Amino acid sequence: MPERFLVPDGVDAPWPDLVPDGLVAAVGDARTVALMNARAEQITGLCAEDVLGRDLLQALPLQDLGGESWWALTNPWAGLATRTGHRERLLVLPSGRELLVTARYNRSVRGGPVESVVLALRDAEGRRRAEAESAALLTAVAHELRSPLTGVKGFSSTLLRNWERFTDDQKRLMLETIEADAGRVTRLITELLDTSRIGAGRLTVHAQPLPVRPCLETEVERRVAAGTPREQFEVEVEDGVEVVWADPDRLAQVVTNLVDNALRHGRGLVRLTAQRSRWGGPPAVDLVVADDGDGIAPQHRELVFSRFWQGGAKHGTGLGLYLVRGLVAAHGGRVVVEDAAGGGALLRATFPDLDAPEAL
């Protein structure tokens, strides 16, 4: 057993089997496989009894994604004497199994011959899941972009070909539709850029005092202009709540995404409320958006703020609430999920009041 490796009391297992990654080791000029732990058997689908004692190159015929033999490309035993191994690579066995392989070339004398090669193996399932998530995001983004771009292309082509045949009212309607669709595309691109900034910790905001009621009513008017009935919205601003400290563009993004979520998961009525509150002691303003849907289960109330979470929705990129949390956090606040009074979900975004003496 290697020095400094302690097996816990009551654990009856060889030390290599306690390692979470697969381990394969080959020794000597004959490249004889001397070690293969249980995890390596699981990852490769090979039996240790069939591998031990064989030439590593034959027992584990790794290939790159182009089908070339990885051993022919790297040649650990006859390659450069300065090499100590290779970093993690995605390699494939003839069976089609994908492995993430890291190698260590061991020499007792610097520049001397390779005496053993140790491979660390990991299942490529995690990478496949990440690639699947990326593919799903690309599909969702392509779908979200295609619809407005189709409208822009269709109406602009129609206007160019038949300008004289339309009345001024018809032209205005088409141009307004083009403007609205272009706005959807711009918003999606902004969301993608902001997602990248939040992930990299580079999102910046420029907070200033903004009138609360106009911020909420502007969002409602935009929805009504887009065809949503006005009776689906209720706006309430408590007495004493006049301004909220926020970046104008970022605040509009927060309110828009919260209302999007409420319309998507509710049954019609959306309540927008501004309330006086406190955030860690200093005064703050809560912007609250509630719907009348089925609500959000307690076990999902943190998951909804993760990237790509859609919660059963059949459209959208799943970035809306992730952006909301990142944007509110950039203002020094927080956003939480609660139960709405009449059923449904309530999302509460808290913005510290930077003008209050206690906040200075």
Q: Is 240 left (phi over 0), alpha (psi -120 to 50) or beta?
A: left
Structure tokens at 103: 């190698």
The tens digit of pLDDT for each residue in 32-49 reads 999 999 999 999 999 999
Tokens standing for residue 321? 């609430």
Res 10 pLDDT > 60: no
What is the model's pLDDT at position 2? 47
Q: Does 78 have pLDDT greater than 80?
A: yes
pLDDT in tens, 131-187: 676 676 677 677 777 878 888 888 899 999 999 999 999 999 899 888 888 887 887
Q: Is the pLDDT of residue 359 over 50?
A: no
Pairing of strands 243-246, 208-211: antiparallel
Q: What is the pTM of this model?
A: 0.61
Q: Could you give all domains of the chain from N- to C-terminal order, each with its CATH number?
A: 15-123 (3.30.450.20), 128-200 (1.10.287.130), 208-359 (3.30.565.10)
Is the CB of residue 56 less than 8 Å from the CB of residue 10? no
For residue 255, name the pLDDT band (cuts at 50, 70, 90).
very high
Q: What is the pLDDT of residue 41?
A: 92
pLDDT tens across 83-131, in order?
Answer: 889 898 889 898 888 889 999 999 988 888 999 999 999 887 767 766 6
Burial (0-12, 13-18, 19+ Cβ within 10 Å), 282 = middle
Q: What is residue 68's predicted lDDT score, i.e. its pLDDT?
A: 87
> Edge-to-edge strand order for the sheet containing 283-291?
233-237, 270-278, 283-291, 345-352, 334-339
Find out whether 60 and 71 touch, Cβ atoms under 8 Å. no
Q: How far apart are CA 109 and CA 125, in angstroms?
A: 37
Under a CB-based contact definition with an 8 Å cutoff, are residues 284 and 212 in contact? no
Q: What is the reported pLDDT for 124? A: 77
| Per-residue pLDDT band at 194 (split at 50, 70, 90) | confident
Q: Please, which pLDDT band fits residue 343 given cuts at 50, 70 and 90?
A: confident
pLDDT of residue 17: 65
Contacts of 175 by beta carbon, 8 Å cutoff, 6+ apart = 155, 159
Q: Grade residue 289 by pLDDT with cuts at 50, 70 and 90.
A: very high
